[in-house]
């Protein structure tokens, strides 16, 4: 049973302006358009699959998206216990669907009602305004066309995975050459091209770089001559060892730290995802390496002016991340990413961070959403869990209600303004 204090805090927090510093929204089409695209979200698709649905056939991309919902009707009761399903029903309600269940009698009504709502002029703005989200960060690949991007609502963020994890691939070099109009003949050309692209993104208002790193990534200093020699061998088609590639990837990450330092760009780093652990369905998972945070000690010391905002995909190292944020002025703990976005995990993470870390070091929430409709569900889940957590802290006597609201405002708005130097 929720306390009156928790409900009071939730009512006040729900009125606050919010910044969403990490999404996968596509600026030309930030809305799903039809309910089938919302239902086809990988969280739901994975749950249906593991509950017995043949998603390869019944949710194949060749089908009309709304058929995903129709085909899933026999399996929906098997996933109604999850907070993912709660989130989907929260979206349905926000779109104007009033029923509490979805079945053979009403699924078409849901498709029609939701399509009508999402086809309204400026719907994505209405959706974000309804939950007080004033700015949403995008995740932009280096070659993404930003023409027509609504800068009133969206903030570019340069995704840099390919320049580190795929630095040995011909496609990475070819794309860099195409974007810069210059040949890549050595590692110096790569760094020059990356700097040129970063400068372009800064010029259109990019507020951060971002990267997702696997659990076994190692960050350490590598001599430029060593990295250049390895890259020369790659360009010449020579074989490089795994350890040589590890050194080159680390060198490239440090090169990105240098770019961030030069352009005053914070760096959002997501740690721990294992790609395609399910070979056939290509589901991503996570695993834990005990040195996932420790490997960044040198970089945190070496680049004190680069703000490094870490998200971590497990509960094992959340305490270590909190203490790093407490120890290093340039280290920040962010949100609740992917497999940690469940109330039972969010609450202890908030408690741990608020009891150990000064609150200006905390990015409270981000949606990680692919459509604005999922942003609605995710912020509602977070605010409810956040309010319950703050109520416990107040009731335990560690802060009063006014301070709890001050902390909430900081974690959802003020800290993002300060960390990312936003002009709003």
Task: Classify residue 372 as exposed, middle or buried by CB count within 10 Å of its CB (0-12, 13-18, 19+).
Answer: buried
96 conformational bin, left if phi > 0, alpha if psi -120 to 50, beta if neither: left
What per-residue confidence (pLDDT) applies to 285?
Answer: 84
Mean pLDDT in residue range 118-140: 98
Q: Give me 283's structure tokens.
A: 């589901």
% of the chain surpassing 70 pLDDT: 100
Q: Residue 275: which pLDDT band, with cuts at 50, 70 and 90?
A: confident
Q: For residue 171, is pLDDT > 90?
A: yes
Q: Would the pLDDT of 258 be above 90?
A: yes
What integer pLDDT is reported at residue 276 of this predicted model? 84
Q: Count H helices and E strands in the chain, helices first.
A: 19, 11
Q: Express each pLDDT in 329-384 by its tens digit.
A: 999 999 999 999 999 999 999 999 999 999 999 999 999 999 999 999 999 999 99
**What is the per-residue pLDDT across 61-115, written as a single tens digit (0 to 9) for each?**
999 999 999 999 999 999 999 999 999 999 999 999 999 999 999 999 999 999 9
Least confident of 32-36, 49-53, 273-277, 312-316: 273-277
Any idea which of 104-113, 122-131, 267-276, 359-368 has the lowest mean pLDDT? 267-276
Examine the pLDDT at 1 and tell me if it is beyond 80. Answer: no
Domains of the chain by start residue, with CATH: 34-118 (1.10.2020.10), 123-420 (3.20.20.140)
User: In this predicted model, what pLDDT tens digit does every residue of 39-65 receive, in sequence order?
Assistant: 999 999 999 999 999 999 999 999 999
Given this model, what pLDDT does residue 282 score? Answer: 84
pLDDT at 110: 98
CB 102 within 8 A of CB 110: yes
pLDDT at 131: 98
Residue 238: is its pLDDT beyond 90?
yes
DSSP assignments along 39-86, one per residue: HT-HHHHHHHHHTT--HHHHT-TTS-HHHHHHHHTTTGGGGTTSHHHH
Mean pLDDT of the chain: 97
String of b and e for 389-420 (b: at least 16 CB within 10 Å)? Answer: bbbbbbeeeebeeeebbebbbbbbbbbbeebb
What's residue 286's pLDDT? 78
Element (H, E) at 122: none
């Amino acid at each position: 049973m929720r306390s009156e204090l928790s409900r009071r805090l939730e009512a006040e927090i729900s009125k606050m302006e919010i910044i969403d510093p990490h999404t996968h929204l596509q600026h030309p089409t930030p809305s799903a358009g039809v309910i089938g695209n919302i239902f086809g979200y990988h969280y739901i698709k994975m749950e249906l699959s593991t509950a017995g649905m043949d998603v390869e056939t019944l949710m194949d991309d060749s089908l009309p998206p709304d058929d995903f919902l129709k085909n899933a009707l026999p399996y929906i009761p098997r996933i109604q216990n999850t907070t993912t399903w709660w989130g989907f029903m929260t979206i349905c309600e926000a779109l104007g669907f009033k029923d509490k269940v979805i079945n053979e009698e009403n699924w078409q009504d849901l498709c029609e009602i939701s399509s009508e709502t999402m086809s309204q002029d400026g719907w994505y703005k209405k959706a974000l305004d309804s939950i007080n989200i004033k700015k949403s960060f995008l995740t932009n690949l280096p070659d993404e066309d930003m023409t027509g991007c609504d800068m009133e609502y969206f903030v570019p963020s340069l995704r840099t995975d390919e320049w580190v994890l795929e630095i040995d691939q011909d496609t990475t070099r070819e794309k860099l050459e195409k974007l810069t109009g210059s040949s890549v003949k050595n590692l110096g050309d790569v760094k020059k091209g990356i700097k040129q692209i970063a400068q372009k993104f800064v010029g259109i208002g990019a507020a951060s770089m971002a990267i997702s790193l696997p659990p076994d990534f190692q960050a350490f200093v590598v001599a430029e001559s060593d990295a250049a020699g390895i890259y020369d061998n790659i360009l010449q088609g020579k074989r490089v060892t795994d350890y040589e590639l590890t050194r080159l990837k680390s060198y490239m990450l440090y090169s990105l730290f240098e770019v961030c330092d030069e352009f005053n760009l914070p760096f959002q780093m997501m740690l721990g995802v294992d790609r395609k652990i399910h070979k056939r369905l290509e589901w991503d998972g996570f695993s834990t390496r005990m040195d996932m945070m420790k490997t960044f000690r040198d970089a945190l010391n070496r680049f004190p002016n680069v703000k490094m905002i870490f998200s971590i995909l497990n509960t094992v190292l959340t305490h270590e991340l909190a203490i790093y944020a407490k120890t290093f002025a340039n280290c920040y703990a962010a949100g609740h990413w992917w497999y940690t976005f469940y109330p039972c995990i969010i609450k202890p993470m908030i408690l741990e961070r608020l009891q150990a870390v000064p609150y200006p070091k905390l990015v409270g929430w981000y949606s990680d959403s692919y459509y604005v409709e999922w942003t609605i569900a995710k912020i509602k889940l977070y605010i409810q869990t956040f309010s319950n957590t703050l109520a416990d802290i107040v009731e335990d006597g560690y802060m009063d209600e006014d301070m709890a609201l001050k902390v909430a405002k900081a974690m959802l708005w003020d800290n993002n303004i300060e960390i990312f130097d936003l002009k709003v």
